[in-house]
Structure 1
Amino acid sequence: MDLDVYGDTLCALVSAAALASSGNRVCLHVSEPALAERLRLGECPYQEPGLSDLIVMQMDAQRLQFAGLNEPPGNKSTVLWLALSPDALDRAHSIMDELPLLPKRDWLVVNQSTFPVGSTEALQVSLERRCTNTDNTCAAVSLPDLLTEGVALEGFMRADHWLLGTHEEWAQRLVYELLRPFNRRRDAVMLMLPREAEFTKLAINGMLATRISYMNDMANLADNLAVDIDRVRQGMGADKRIGDAYLYPGCGFGGQSFSRDVMSLASTLQHSGMQPQLLDEVLHINERQKEVLFRKLWDRYGTHLRGRKVAMWGVAFKPTSTRIDNAPSLKLLEALWAQGVEVHVHDPRALPALAEWAGERDDLVLHDDPYAAADGADALMLVTEWKVYWSPDLALLKAVMNTPVLLDGRNVWDPSFMKESGFEYYGIGRR
């Protein structure tokens, strides 16, 4: 089958490569020629395991090619796969308005973009308007992006579930056929109406964010009650009505997609005339939680922070990512700088993004080695739980630090072991 995928999001790249790997001929439309050239050279802008190799493999097999975002679909294509950025809804409608119309050429538009609820129905209207007075049949369906960065390729090729929103039986059958190679273990496609699928995607992330913020509130309360939140977490997770997913407290969540989806859901509720009280509180708790390590540092040193040196391990919004969108590290850095603290940072992948965000600063030093960042530090903050930080050389770490104070923003270290090793340990609700 011939498909045209529009977008240069992670979802677009994963979808194009995966669909090409199952034998389809795919044209990926991206916004910049430079990006297409980088992809041809095997340089993927996302550090997604297996994605760069798969893209190159599909190009070599001549099943994947590139075109500009403004270029129309190929002469044989009848499927448009939209995986555009959330602010590109107007671009999506322009693509509908410019579709080439040829005899007996029906159009299926698969919308994976995270647009507002109801957008797929609006795209259907644009599509029908384009096909008016022709013998072309057309349908727009919603197939929300449920991919998780770091396991996105695996999440497409072995999906736990898909949300398919359509009321057209022929469109449903065609999407099922496209997903059939990735849907063999069991039928993972859940059928619903387009706006139900769009809303479900937002509701999922709203629920996950709520669980995280709830656990962060419980962890802060545990600090006051002299309770170890990790034992509480395990006890809660053992209850089958709750389960253990997303019950790990920490220093807040970030990420472009996750944060944006929660805010979009809150905005949808507000525009409907309802007050998004729960989601507003979830977002408020999360923003407050991003400063929890700073508050612990303040409690340790009081007002005597100016001129101190603090090391920070991890600035990416999540491990495996190169991005810092809405990351807790950003708010934490601003709080530290406001108090005259010099911050030395290590991160396996996100330092270029941090350098671009912060610019040249005398109070920010980037390091390729985590122990160099900790050299002479009055405290070390672990902000992103990269695996490389889980088992540090404690003897070396203690030797290079000025004061062995550890602030564990992800609860990855054992408090008693760290204290026995000569460190002052401060976790999130840990004892």
Structure 2
Amino acid sequence: MHLDVYGDTLGAMVSAGALASSGNQVQLHLSSQELVDRLNKGRCPYREPGLAELLTEQRKVGRLSLTTCQTPPSEQSAVVWLALSPDLLDEAHEVLRELPTQPKRDWLVVNQSTFPVGSTEALQASLEAVGVGNATSGAVVSLPDLLTEGAALQGFMRADHWLLGTNVPWAQRLVYELLRPFNRRRDSIMLMLPREAEFTKLAINGMLATRLSYMNDMANLADNLNVDIDRVRQGMGADKRIGEAYLYPGCGFGGLSFSRDVMSLASTLQTSGMQAQLLDEVLHINERQKEALFRKLWRHYGTHLPGRKVAIWGVAFKPESSRIDNAPALRLLEALWAQGVEVHVHDPRALPALAEWAGERDDLILHEDPYAAAREADALMLVTEWKAYWSPDLARLKAVMNEPLLLDGRNIWDPTFMKDNGFIYYGIGRR
């Protein structure tokens, strides 16, 4: 089958690579010739495990070609796969308005983009406006992007579930055929209407964000009650009605898509005339939580921070990512700088993004070695739980630090073990 995939997103590149790997001829349309050239040289913009290798392999065997969004779909194509950024809805409509109407094709448009609820129906109207959208010759379906950064390729090829929004039988059958190579263990496709699929995607992220913010509130309360939140977490997770997922408290969540989906859901509630009180509070708790480590540092040093040196391990919004979109570390950095603190940072992948975000600053020093970042530091803050940070050389770390003060924003270290090794330890609700 011939497909044209539009978008620079992680979802676009994962979808293009995966669909090409199953034998399809895929043309990936990118926003600029510069990005086309980068990918043709094997330089993938996402540090996603296996993605760069897959794209290179599929280009070499001839099943994946790269072009810009200005290039029309291939002559054999009748499937357009939209995986655009959430702010590019107008561009999505433009793609459909420019679709060739000759020779006659039965267009299937798969909307994987996270646009507002109702966008798939609006795109259907654009398809009909060019005379190729009706029950028999053109349909737009919703297939929301449920991928998780760091496991996106596996999430497509062995998906736990898909949300397919359509009420057009032939379009349903064609999507099932496209996904058949990745849907063999069991039928993972949940069929619903387009609006239901779009809303479900937002509702999922709203629920996950609510669980995270709830646990952060409980962790802060545990601090006041002299309770270890980790035991509480395990007790809650053992209840089958609750389960263990997304019960880990920390110093806040980030990520462009996750945060934007929650805000989009809150906005949808408000524009519908309903109060978004719960989601507003979820977002408020999350922003407040991003300063949790700063508040602990502030109290430890009796509010006197000017002139101190603090090390941060991890600035990416999550492990296995080079992105810092809405990352808790950004809010933390701003709070530290406001108090005259010199900050030394290590991260396995996100230092270039941080340098671009911060610009040239005398109070920000980036390090390729985590122990160099901690040298002569008055405190070490762990913000992103990279695996490389889980078992540090404690003797070396204590030797290089000015003050053996650890602030664990992800609760990955054992408090008792750290204290036994001569460190002052603060976690999120830990004892």
Does TM-score exceed 0.5, indicating one fold?
A: yes
Aligned residue in 2 for 1:36: 36
Per-residue CA deviations over 1:366-400 (Å, capped at 9, x if unaligned) read: 00000000000000000000000000000000000
| 1: CA distance, partners of 2:185 / 2:349 | 35
Q: Residue type of the partner of 2:325?
A: D
1:342 is the counterpart of 2:334: no
1:94 is the counterpart of 2:113: no
| 1: CA distance, partners of 2:430 / 2:366 | 29
* TM-superposed deviation, 1:114: 0.5
SS in 2 for 1:312: strand
Aligned residue in 1 for 2:426: 426
* TM-superposed deviation, 1:71: 1.6
CA contact (8 A) 2:133 2:139 kept: no
| 2: CA distance, partners of 1:286 / 1:115 | 23
Q: What is the number of equivalent residue pairs in this alignment? A: 431
Aligned residue in 1 for 2:327: 327
SS in 2 for 1:184: coil
* TM-superposed deviation, 1:136: 7.3
Unpaired segments ≥5 residues, structure 1: none
Aligned residue in 2 for 1:154: 154
SS in 2 for 1:72: coil
* TM-superposed deviation, 1:303: 2.3
CA contact (8 A) 1:103 1:135 kept: no
| 2: CA distance, partners of 1:196 / 1:130 | 26
Q: Residue type of the partner of 2:422?
A: G
* TM-superposed deviation, 1:41: 1.7
* TM-superposed deviation, 1:87: 0.7
TM-score (norm 1): 0.99
Q: Residue type of the partner of 2:165?
A: G
Aligned residue in 1 for 2:309: 309
Trace 1:137-216 onto structure 2 (pairs within 5 A).
137-216=137-216
CA contact (8 A) 1:120 1:142 kept: yes
TM-score (norm 2): 0.99
Structure 1 outlier segments of 4+, above 4 Å: 132-136
Aligned residue in 2 for 1:358: 358
* TM-superposed deviation, 1:104: 3.5
| 2: CA distance, partners of 1:312 / 1:283 | 24
Aligned residue in 2 for 1:126: 126
Q: Residue type of the partner of 2:171?
A: A
Aligned residue in 1 for 2:73: 73
Aligned residue in 2 for 1:378: 378
* TM-superposed deviation, 1:43: 1.2
Q: Residue type of the partner of 1:29?
A: H
CA contact (8 A) 1:408 1:427 kept: yes
* Distance of aligned partners of 1:136 and 1:33 in 2 relative to their CA distance in 1, 3 Å threshold: farther
Aligned residue in 2 for 1:392: 392
| 2: CA distance, partners of 1:304 / 1:184 | 60
CA contact (8 A) 1:107 1:136 kept: no
SS in 2 for 1:230: helix
Trace 1:41-60 onto structure 2 (pairs within 5 A).
41-60=41-60
Aligned residue in 1 for 2:406: 406
Per-residue CA deviations over 1:39-76 (Å, capped at 9, x if unaligned) read: 12221110111111110110111000011112211111
| 2: CA distance, partners of 1:257 / 1:133 | 30
SS in 1 for 2:39: helix
| 2: CA distance, partners of 1:390 / 1:133 | 54
Moved more, 300-309 or 282-291: 300-309
* TM-superposed deviation, 1:243: 0.2
* Distance of aligned partners of 1:100 and 1:425 in 2 relative to their CA distance in 1, 3 Å threshold: same
CA contact (8 A) 1:20 1:26 kept: yes
Trace 1:216-235 onto structure 2 (pairs within 5 A).
216-235=216-235
Per-residue CA deviations over 1:121-144 (Å, capped at 9, x if unaligned) read: 000011011116999710000000
CA RMSD after TM alignment: 1.1
* Distance of aligned partners of 1:135 and 1:226 in 2 relative to their CA distance in 1, 3 Å threshold: closer
Moved more, 320-329 or 123-132: 123-132
| 1: CA distance, partners of 2:38 / 2:377 | 39
Per-residue CA deviations over 1:398-429 (Å, capped at 9, x if unaligned) read: 00000000000000000000000000000000
| 2: CA distance, partners of 1:135 / 1:104 | 15
| 1: CA distance, partners of 2:80 / 2:430 | 50
CA contact (8 A) 2:227 2:429 kept: yes
| 2: CA distance, partners of 1:182 / 1:164 | 14
Aligned residue in 2 for 1:4: 4
| 2: CA distance, partners of 1:302 / 1:75 | 70
| 2: CA distance, partners of 1:8 / 1:135 | 30
Q: Residue type of the partner of 1:258?
A: F
Q: Residue type of the partner of 2:65?
A: Q
Unpaired segments ≥5 residues, structure 2: none
